[in-house]
Structure formats: structure tokens, C-alpha cells
């Protein structure tokens, strides 16, 4: 009977819901534990001068080495951390660890990702400044990567926080540029130092294709506004040549290096021309 099957269906959905809630709860518990017990680790991806000769910065990218489920990528747990109120402790862990590890890399920038929820927290700027001070990190060496999502909800508050951050000497990059909602006016209004052209634009790029035209336009726009232009997701020599020709300043991608442990950054920084072989082969 209809009423009965309705009730059964309800029971079915309820049990499914319980299962996914349990799953989420488990991840939440594990993540809290992971933050407290150093199961998280940071890898660093080099940001390279456009000629490929020099590492000018590194981006800290968090990884979770789960004892039972193996390596969990940030795309799988950042959203849960945001949902379950863990993004602030997670982000504080990331910034503290990144500043502590990167202190020994003189003369290069450290880029750290900021989640929109973390950014909107009322103590965000104070927390960042405190962590920089406590780790004795040079604020001019730090660059925070924001996504367009931080700008849309409360533009006035975002603008104020950004001015505050910059007043402390910390740089700001607009990450995943071109994928969000923001109009070009945002780029003028908000005080970014740098845009990072999202790697989806490079993914299927041929130098004559539509993506190439978009990338060219974004690079041109960034330069015209006096911003540094970084291209993410550079995988091929052909992309490299194109990005160099259109006047990008910095490159990041698997062509040069994936994100690697801090000790590998030590090694790369010790080399004279760390990517010479890669460029010669290309």
C-alpha cells in the first residue's frame, strides 16, 4: 500500500542519511585527530620565473596521510573541514607549519591558500599576524592566495581585511583566476598583487585555440593593471613557450615540479639552474 511503501522509502532514505552522516562524522573525528597529531603534512610546489631559470616562490599544499585510507588530497577534506568548523584550526596549522619550514628559504616567497570561510572569520587578520610574529617569519615573504569566492559575499569587509593584510606587508594573490564570478571591476577594486590564471585554461590549450586567446587576454589584463601574472598547471614545453611569449611573469606546473616535501625544495634551491635539464629536453 502506498502509505506503507512511502514509510519504507522514508526508512530507506533515513538509513542512507545516517550512513553518510556517520561517514562524515568519522572523517570529522579523524580530521580533528589528524590536525592534533601531525598526520597532516605540507608539500611545496615551486613557482618559477618565466624563463624557467629560477625558483621565485613555493606554494604550500596540504596533504593528509590517513593511517587507514592512505593519502587524501585536499580537494577531499578542505570542504569537510569548512563544513564541520575545522577550517580555522586546520588553516592555523598550515600557516604555522609553512612559516616554520619556509623560514630557511631566503629570498623566495611562500604562498599559502586561504579558504573563504577562514577569510571571513573575524580574527582572520589577527591570527595571520600572530602566527607570522610567533614563527618569526618575514611578512614581505608571505603571499596569501584568495579565491574569487571571498569577494562576493561581503565586499566591504573583504576589502577592509585585505587592506589590513597588506598594511602588514603581506602579499595577496587571486587564485584560480577566470573560474569565479567576479567581474573585471573586482580586479581594480581589490588590492591584489598577483593573479594566478587557473590551470583549466591551459588544460586543452593549443596556441591557436580559444583557451589560448583567453589566457592571452588574462595575462594582458593583469599586466595592464600592474599585477604579476602567474600561470598554473604548466605541463608542456609548448605551453611554456606560449606563456613566455604573452608576458606571464611566473609559472607553476608539473613541467617544472609537482608539489614536493620541504627537503626536496632544499635540494632544488641548492642547484644553480634547477630546471636546466627539463628545458634542454623540451
Is 113 a binding residue for Mg ion by CB under 5 A? The answer is: yes
Q: Is 176 in the site for Mg ion (CB under 5 A)?
A: yes
Q: Which of Mg ion, ligand C2E, none is residue 259 near (CB under 5 to 8 Å by kind)?
A: ligand C2E
Given phi > 0 = left and psi -120 to 50 = alpha, else beta, which region is 271?
Answer: beta
Asked if residue 113 binds ligand C2E (CB under 6 A), the reply is: yes
Classify residue 219 as exposed, middle or buried by CB count within 10 Å of its CB (0-12, 13-18, 19+): buried
Q: Which residues contact 151 (CB under 8 A, 6 or more apart)?
A: 158, 180, 182, 186, 190
Residue 253 lies near ligand C2E (rule: CB under 6 A): yes
Q: 105 Cβ partners below 8 Å, 6+ apart? A: 58, 265, 266, 269
Q: Map the footprint of ligand C2E across residues 13-42, applying CB under 6 A.
A: none
Between CA 113 and CA 121, with CA 117 as vertex, the angle to 5 degrees is 105
Question: Is 250 near Mg ion (CB under 5 A)?
Answer: no
Number of residues that this document lists for the chain: 282
Does 143 contact ligand C2E by CB under 6 A? no
Closest to Mg ion by CB, 30 vs 50, is: 50
- Answer with the entry of Mg ion, ligand C2E, none that 101 interacts with (C-beta below 5 to 8 A by kind): none
Closer to ligand C2E by CB, 7 or 111: give it.
111
Binding track over 200-239 against ligand C2E, x by CB under 6 A:
--------------------------------xxxx----
Tell me how many residues contact ligand C2E (CB under 6 A): 24
Among Mg ion, ligand C2E, none, residue 233 binds (CB under 5-8 Å by kind):
ligand C2E
One residue of 27, 61, 165, 227 binding ligand C2E per CB under 6 A: 61
DSSP state of 254: T
Contact status, residue 212 vs residue 243, Cβ threshold 8 Å: no
Considering only CA atoms, give the Rg of the chain.
21
Any bridge partners for residue 282, and if so which?
Answer: none
Rounded Cα gap, residues 256 and 196, in angstroms: 16
Contact partner at residue 193 from ligand C2E, Mg ion, none, CB < 5 to 8 Å by partner kind? none
DSSP code per residue over 129-149: HHHHHHTT--GGGEEEEE-TH
DSSP state of 180: S
Please identify which residue in 34, 50, 80, 94 interacts with ligand C2E, judged by CB under 6 A: 94
Q: Is 145 in the site for Mg ion (CB under 5 A)?
A: yes
**What are the cell numbers at 94?**
598550515
* Residue numbers at the binding site for Mg ion (CB under 5 A): 113, 145, 175-176, 232
* Residue numbers at the binding site for ligand C2E (CB under 6 A): 45, 61-62, 73-75, 78, 91, 94, 113-115, 145, 175-176, 199, 232-235, 252-254, 259
Amino acid at each position: 500500500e502506498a502509505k506503507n511503501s512511502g514509510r519504507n522509502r522514508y526508512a530507506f532514505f533515513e538509513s542512507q542519511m545516517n550512513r553518510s552522516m556517520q561517514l562524515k562524522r568519522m572523517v570529522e573525528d579523524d580530521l580533528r585527530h589528524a590536525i592534533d597529531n601531525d598526520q597532516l603534512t605540507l608539500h611545496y610546489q615551486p613557482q618559477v620565473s618565466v624563463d624557467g631559470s629560477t625558483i621565485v616562490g613555493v606554494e604550500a599544499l596540504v596533504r593528509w596521510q590517513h593511517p587507514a585510507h592512505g593519502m587524501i588530497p585536499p580537494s577531499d577534506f578542505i570542504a569537510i573541514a569548512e563544513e564541520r568548523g575545522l577550517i580555522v584550526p586546520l588553516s592555523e596549522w598550515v600557516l604555522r607549519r609553512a612559516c616554520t619550514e619556509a623560514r630557511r628559504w631566503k629570498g623566495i616567497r611562500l604562498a599559502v591558500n586561504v579558504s573563504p570561510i577562514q577569510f571571513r572569520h573575524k580574527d582572520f587578520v589577527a591570527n595571520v599576524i600572530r602566527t607570522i610574529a610567533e614563527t618569526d617569519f618575514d611578512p614581505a615573504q608571505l603571499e596569501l592566495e584568495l579565491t574569487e569566492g571571498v569577494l562576493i559575499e561581503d565586499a566591504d569587509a573583504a576589502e577592509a581585511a585585505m587592506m589590513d593584510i597588506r598594511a602588514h606587508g603581506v602579499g595577496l594573490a587571486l587564485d584560480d583566476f577566470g573560474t569565479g564570478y567576479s567581474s573585471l571591476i573586482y580586479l581594480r577594486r581589490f588590492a591584489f598583487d598577483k593573479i594566478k590564471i587557473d590551470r583549466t585554461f591551459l588544460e586543452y590549450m593549443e596556441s591557436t585555440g580559444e583557451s589560448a586567446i583567453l589566457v592571452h587576454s588574462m595575462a594582458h589584463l593583469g599586466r595592464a593593471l600592474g599585477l604579476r601574472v602567474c600561470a598554473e598547471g604548466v605541463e608542456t614545453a609548448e605551453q611554456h613557450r606560449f606563456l613566455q611569449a604573452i608576458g606571464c611573469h611566473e609559472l607553476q606546473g608539473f613541467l617544472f615540479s609537482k608539489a614536493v616535501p620541504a627537503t626536496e625544495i632544499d635540494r632544488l634551491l641548492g642547484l644553480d639552474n634547477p630546471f636546466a635539464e627539463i628545458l634542454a629536453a623540451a
